[in-house]
Amino acid sequence: MSKYKAYPWSNNDKTLSCLAIFLLVLGVVALLFLGPAITMWLWNWIAVELFGLPVIGYWTAFGLQWLCHILFSRTVTIRSAK
């Protein structure tokens, strides 16, 4: 049996799970701030040219994205009858 392990973290599950949680949170935050940037870019590229709408900034795109999320997200609440 070799004294070297294939991966240094293979024996430390707590470190691996903390790393996974950190990367998950980092990914969510990155998508949270990358989404409005893409929305702003698409709006300023398409809507301004086609429809003559005003140019928007990052925070306006952020608000627009959250407003669309509130209006168009599908949430289903099932209530049990008592």
pLDDT tens, position by position, 8-43: 555 566 677 888 888 999 999 988 889 999 999 999
36 within domain boundaries: yes
Q: Angle at the Cα of 58 (from 41 to 75), degrees rounded to 5?
A: 90
Check if the beta carbon of residue 58 is closer than 8 Å to that of residue 41: no
68 within domain boundaries: yes
56 within domain boundaries: yes
Question: For 45-65, what is each residue's pLDDT tens digit?
Answer: 999 999 999 999 999 999 999
Range of the domain at 38: 32-74
Q: Name the residue type at position 39.
A: T
> What is the rounded CA–CA span in Å between residue 62 and residue 37?
8
pTM for the full predicted model: 0.61
12 within domain boundaries: no
- pLDDT score for 54: 96
41 within domain boundaries: yes
53 within domain boundaries: yes
> What is the rounded CA–CA span in Å between residue 57 and residue 40?
7
Q: How many structural domains compose the chain?
A: 1
- What is the total residue count of the chain? 82
58 within domain boundaries: yes
* Residue spans of alpha helices (H) in the chain: 13-42, 48-51, 58-72
65 within domain boundaries: yes
- pLDDT score for 41: 96
